[in-house]
Amino acid sequence: MDHFQYQNGELHAEDVPLSRIADQVGSPVYVYSAATLARHFGLFRQALDWTDHLVCFAVKSNSNLAVLKLMGDLGAGMDVVSGGEYLRAKAAGVPGDRIVFSGVGKTEDEMTLAIRGGIRQFNVESEPEMRVLSRVAHGLGVTVPIAIRVNPDVDAKTHEKIATGKSENKFGIPIARAREVYAEAATLPGLQVVGVDVHIGSQLTDLEPFRAAYLKVAELTRALREDGHTITRLDLGGGLGIPYRRDNNAPPLPLEYGQVIRETVGDLGCEIEIEPGRNIVGNAGVLLSKVIYVKNGEDRDFLIVDAAMNDLLRPAMYGAHHDIVPVVEPAVAAPVQPYDVVGPVCESGDTFQKGAQLPKMAADDLIAFRSAGAYGAVMASEYNSRPLVPEVLVSGDHFAVIRARPTFEEMLARDSIPEWL
C-alpha cells in the first residue's frame, strides 16, 4: 500500500496534488510520502517483534538526509556501504551504535572515520579486509565488533546485476571456509567477533531463497559456537521485493518474511538485524514528469517527456519496469493507446517503456513513474549536462523541497579551467 491515490480527479501524494508540486518546483521531480515510509518501516518492526532486533535502513536505496532523519526518528538503524553514506547517517542524527558498515571495498580512511565516529559493527567481506581492519582498530587502540559476511551460494532468482549470494558473486566469504576465517578473526587484535552476516540479493519475490540461506546460517552459527565463538547477532540482509507491476501478484509481505526468519534461526537466541531499503522506500516515491512532445512515428507514437535516463536509470540499466500513470485521472472506460515513453537524452537506451497503455496524451500533460523511491534519485547523474533532479517530501497536506535542483551556474561553477588554457 502507498499514499499516492487519485482524489477529485487528480493523483495526490497524501493530501497534496502532484500538479501543485510541479507548478512550484518544476519537473522532473521525485516526490516521497512520509506516511508510506513510516508505514513500511513499521511493518518490518512488527515482523520481528518476537525477538530483539534492529531494522537498519539500506542507505544506498535512498540517501536523502530528510528521508534518513525520518527513518532514524522512527528508530531505524542504518546500513551504509561508504564513508559518504556513514556521514549522511550521522548528519541525519543517527547514532553510531545504530550504524552497520557493509561493502566489499572499505578503505582504511573509511574504517578510521567510522571507528572514530562510532559504529555498531563492521560486516567484513574478505580476509584482506579483516586484516586491514584489525591493523586500523589496533592502531587506534580500540576493539570493534565484526560480523563476517558469508556467501551461501544460494540462487536468489533475481536480476543478475543485483544477485549477491552465488559463488560467482564478489560478496562475502565462501560459507565452506567460514570456520577457518572465524578462527583467524579470533586471533587478530582489535576485532571482536559478534555475529554472522549474509545477503543474497535484491528484489526477491520468493521466500524460499531466504529460507535456504538462513538454514545455512543457522547450521554455521551452531558450528561456530562449538568452535568457541560467541555469536550474538545475525545480520540477515535485505532484498525483499516490491510490486513494480500493479497487475502482477504481490510479493511476500514483511510479516511472512519475518516468519521465515523465526522458523530458520529463531531458536538461536540471537539479536536479528535486517537491512531493508527498497521495500521501505520504493513505493513511497514517484518520479513526476511532463510531456514535452507527442511524436508520431512510422509505426508507433512517442511520448517525449522531460525525465530521462540520467534521472531514473533503472529501466536503461536493468530493463526495469515502472508503471506509468497520468496525473489527471482518466474517465472510467476511457480508451487507451500505446506510447513509447522516452526521454530527451541522445541515446536509444533512454526509453522508459515501450507500448505503455495510456489515455490520449498531449504536450504539458503530467505523468508519474510509480515505485521510484528506491534507486532513483541516488543513481541520478548530470549526463548530457542535465541538472540533478530535485526531491520533495510530503507529509499530510504540506510538502518541502529536500534537495533543490541545481542551477546551470552552480553546475558550471564546479568545473575549473587551468590558467595555462
The predicted pLDDT at position 159 comes to 46
Task: Give the amino acid at 4.
Answer: F
Q: Is residue 268 located within the same domain as residue 292?
A: no
CA dihedral 64, 65, 67, 68 (to 10 degrees): 120
Dihedral angle sign, alpha carbons of residues 107, 56, 234, 244: negative
The predicted pLDDT at position 251 comes to 85
Total number of residues shown for the chain? 421
221 confidence band (pLDDT: 50, 70, 90): very high
* Residue 47 placed within a domain: no
Catalytic residue among 1, 333, 346, 417: 346
The predicted pLDDT at position 155 comes to 64
Whether the pLDDT of residue 167 is over 90: the answer is no
Neighbours of 399 (CB within 10 A): 23
Coil vs helix vs strand at 381: coil
Burial (CB < 10 A; 0-12, 13-18, 19+), residue 405, is: middle
> Which helix H or strand E contains 392, and what residues bound it?
strand 391-395
| Structural domains in the chain (count) | 2
- Cell 527513518, located at residue: 71
The predicted pLDDT at position 161 comes to 46
> Which helix H or strand E contains 46, and what residues bound it?
helix 34-47
Q: Is residue 94 located within the same domain as residue 215?
A: yes
pLDDT digits (tens, 9 = 90+) for 277-311: 999 999 999 999 999 999 998 888 999 999 999 99
Q: Is residue 233 located within the same domain as residue 290?
A: no
Burial (CB < 10 A; 0-12, 13-18, 19+), residue 299, is: exposed
Q: Is residue 72 located within the same domain as residue 20?
A: no
* Residue 12 placed within a domain: yes
Strand partners of residue 53 = 272
* Residue 250 placed within a domain: yes
The predicted pLDDT at position 136 comes to 98
The predicted pLDDT at position 247 comes to 67
Q: Is residue 367 located within the same domain as residue 407?
A: yes
Q: Is residue 288 located within the same domain as residue 241?
A: no
Is cis: bond before 28, omega within 30 of 0?
yes
Q: Is residue 269 located within the same domain as residue 287?
A: no
From 276, 311, 339, give the residue that closes a domain.
276
Q: Is residue 286 located within the same domain as residue 147?
A: no
The predicted pLDDT at position 163 comes to 47
* Residue 310 placed within a domain: yes
* Residue 166 placed within a domain: yes
Domain containing 313 — which CATH number? 2.40.37.10
Whether the pLDDT of residue 107 is over 80: the answer is yes
Nearest to 392 by CA among 60, 7, 27, 111: 27
* Residue 43 placed within a domain: no
Domain containing 189 — which CATH number? 3.20.20.10
Asked if 346 is an active-site residue, the reply is: yes
Whether the pLDDT of residue 92 is over 70: the answer is yes
Whether the pLDDT of residue 110 is over 80: the answer is yes
The predicted pLDDT at position 323 comes to 95
What does the alpha-carbon distance between residue 216 and residue 232 come to, in Å, rounded to a whole number? 16
Give the mean model confidence (pLDDT) for residues 139-158.
86
Whether the pLDDT of residue 164 is over 80: the answer is no
The predicted pLDDT at position 1 comes to 66
From 276, 295, 312, give the residue that closes a domain.
276
Query: Do 121 and 98 touch, CB atoms closer than 8 A?
Result: no
Q: Is residue 267 located within the same domain as residue 287?
A: no
From 228, 245, 276, give the residue that closes a domain.
276
Structural domain harbouring 179: 63-276
The predicted pLDDT at position 375 comes to 96
Angle CA(40)–CA(46)–CA(47) in degrees, nearest 5? Answer: 95
Phi-psi region of 388 (alpha: psi -120 to 50; beta: other; left: phi over 0): beta
Angle CA(310)–CA(381)–CA(22) in degrees, nearest 5? Answer: 65
* Residue 420 placed within a domain: no
Give the mean model confidence (pLDDT) for residues 186-194.
98
What does the alpha-carbon distance between residue 213 and residue 200 come to, in Å, rounded to a whole number? 8
pTM value is 0.94
- Cell 511532463, located at residue: 290
Q: Which three cell numbers stand for residue 364?
A: 504539458
Q: Is residue 226 located within the same domain as residue 324?
A: no
Q: Is residue 271 located within the same domain as residue 361?
A: no
What does the alpha-carbon distance between residue 74 and residue 283 come to, in Å, rounded to a whole number? 18
* Residue 264 placed within a domain: yes
pLDDT digits (tens, 9 = 90+) for 330-382: 998 889 999 999 999 989 899 999 999 999 999 999 999 999 999 999 999 99
Q: Is residue 328 located within the same domain as residue 379?
A: yes
The predicted pLDDT at position 160 comes to 55
